[in-house]
A and B are shown apart, each in its own frame.
Chain A
């Protein structure tokens, strides 16, 4: 199944930083999210689109994870040639992960 079935997400941006939240629909799925969706898994999923390691923050009482990704300098929101210069669609790509 796709990650989308158990979690929702929102993407934000600041310069060349992209933040992606991942929130379990049901609290009982948080443990599974935390075990499966590691910083490494997210880094591998977005490997062509980011630079450097992914940081993951855990918020168990909110059943949520927060990922921080860095895009290459030339891909910051004000300089990127990409159609989605902010990277706002990245959260949707995360939800397409097969779990």
Chain B
């Protein structure tokens, strides 16, 4: 039976590049997908684009393309990625320039746009938006589905650069294209979405984010390989990786990734289908070969999710360490000093953490009965102005000469908060467009 092999070359924007090169060289894949857009990434990219109209795509686009384009061109591997971020057209122009520099001619590059709905919702005004928009809106992007990618694949694009597209759609589209599945066959789209969901975090199904020494051991994490799905025409898939690469794929790694970021397993919403993962079957065929089937689904939603990015003030942060006898008492004294000093700066929120003692889950869940050898005090707060927020790191630094004995290793930062909220828009109000470049 005919099978299509798809590899995932990145699970987030800053992901390692060498496993993608390994997939292209040794994975016998037809498609290499890079998933690089977290919830907030596109809002940050939009800000970069405002400063420079040629910016706003993934910061590692250039490095990734230089590494994989020649190999993909040689092995006829098509690339699908959301590295276009806030500026797919500039990303396509950059990719074309890289291809030409590398002597790759005739490469067809598609840029998918239309996910940016900021103008649309701003023009609709507060009355017509599903919920009031926050004061300083920076970006609004609808999650597109497989349709624009299918169109670009049909137009024989070798590289497809999108902005916001639902992560599993990046993987589902080439399957629908190759097997000619109906875009209304909810069962097969649900199964294909399952494969996309399992692959979209790259190393998280091959043993990344899994190891717990003595309980869940993973071989050779330093050389962790990225996943390949070998998909059959009926949608069932074998998840595997390049032989000899690090990591492990078995029932346990697949179960963890199956449920990752899933709420109701019977209703996983994407623009293409409401997928049902509640009856999935996972079978180990051999070492690092796991068979996945049983995904299903129902009709796609009539609305699209939109992520709205907005300015939400500033965060200031400072940290200082204490060590040796009395470290904890000195850290607590430093905290008291900061609490008093920071009162006058108009901070809207302030928290203190004792790193190594209670910073992650608070006092009740932490083991507080030990006297740590070393402790790191962290102060973090929010303010409406950058000046107020920056007083946190300044006051922490002042603990060197004004605070308890033996403070060391001060670090501080002040940054803008770009927050996200989600809303829904009718599918009919969002229209995609595709722009082509040829090297």
Contacts and interface: CB of A to CB of B under 8 A. Distances in A.
20 contacts: A8-B212, A8-B216, A10-B210, A17-B263, A19-B261, A19-B262, A19-B263, A21-B256, A23-B259, A55-B264, A57-B266, A57-B278, A59-B265, A61-B279, A62-B280, A66-B262, A66-B263, A76-B419, A81-B382, A83-B380
A84 interface: yes
On chain B, which size bracket covers the interface? 35 or more
B315 interface: yes
A15 B209 CA distance: 20
A70 B100 CA distance: 49
Interface of B: 39-40, 209-210, 212, 215-216, 252, 255-266, 278-282, 312, 315, 349, 351, 353, 355, 359-362, 364-365, 378, 380-382, 417-422
Contacts of B255: 21, 23, 62, 64
Contacts of B266: 57
Contacts of B265: 57, 59, 66
Interface string A65-99: 01010000010111101111000011001001000
Contact of A93 (B216, B264, B355, B361): B361
A87 B256 CA distance: 16
Contacts of A83: 353, 355, 359-360, 378, 380
Interface of A: 4, 8-10, 12-15, 17, 19, 21, 23, 25, 45, 48-49, 55, 57, 59, 61-62, 64, 66, 68, 74, 76-79, 81-84, 89-90, 93, 96
Contact of A78 (B212, B360, B418): B418
Contacts of A4: 215
A90 B365 CA distance: 11
A79 B260 contact: no
A60 to B, nearest CB: 10
A59 B382 CA distance: 41
Given A23-B252, A23-B256, A93-B365, A10 B209 contact: yes
The winner among A10, A25, A64, A68 for most chain B CB atoms within 10 A is: A10
B361 A89 contact: yes
Contact of B259 (A10, A13, A15): A10
Contact of A64 (B259, B417, B422): B259
B363 to A, nearest CB: 9
The winner among A13, A78, A84, A93 for most chain B CB atoms within 10 A is: A78
A84 B360 contact: yes
B353 to A, nearest CB: 6
A23 B260 CA distance: 12
Nearest to A78: B419
Nearest to B350: A81
A19 B278 CA distance: 16
Given A12-B261, A15-B39, A62-B282, A79 B256 contact: no
B111 to A, nearest CB: 27
Contacts of A23: 252, 255-256, 259
B351 A10 contact: no
Contact of A13 (B209, B261, B360): B261
Given A62-B258, A81-B381, A15 B362 contact: no
